[in-house]
Amino acid sequence: MSMREPTFLTLVALAGGRAHGYALLREIEVISGGRVRLQVGSMYAVLDRLVGERLIALDGEEWMSGRLRRYFVLTDTGQRALKADTDRLEANVHAARQRLGRRSRPVTQP
């Protein structure tokens, strides 16, 4: 089963290193080129689920200017899952490019 985009992007964002909630939100926006802008409640639902599945884990908390920052990190299981989904997407993209390339070639007249 393939991952949904918010899940995939969250794992990609964490593949770059530990991050707290707001940093993740910004990173997801950057990675998706501004296309995916998660709501905070939705992102926490994704994080909640990913922690439950052991794909990511809590990696400390700290108070900054009166706000609690909770850090997350990609686990080995998460890394494997991300790699598997990346490979799958890559294969799909490769197949798509091949076929699009064939389509764009000029058709030879008989």
Q: What is the contact surface with another protein in residues (CB under 8 A)?
A: 1, 3-4, 7, 20-22, 25, 39-45, 48-53, 57-61, 66-70, 73, 75
Name the minimum Å distance from CB 94 to another protein.
24
Query: What's the CA gap between 89 and 95, in Å, rounded?
Result: 10
- Name the residue nearer to another protein (CB basis): 54 or 99: 54
Identify any residues that bridge with 29 across adjacent strands, giving them in sequence order. Answer: none
CB of 83 to another protein, least distance (A): 16
- Find the shortest distance in angstroms from Cβ 46 to another protein: 10
CA distances from 56 to 22, 36, 43, 91, 100 (A): 16, 20, 13, 25, 36
Compare residues 30 and 94 and give the one whose CB is closer to another protein.
30
Q: Which secondary structure element, helix H or strand E, spans residue 43, and what is its range?
A: helix 40-52
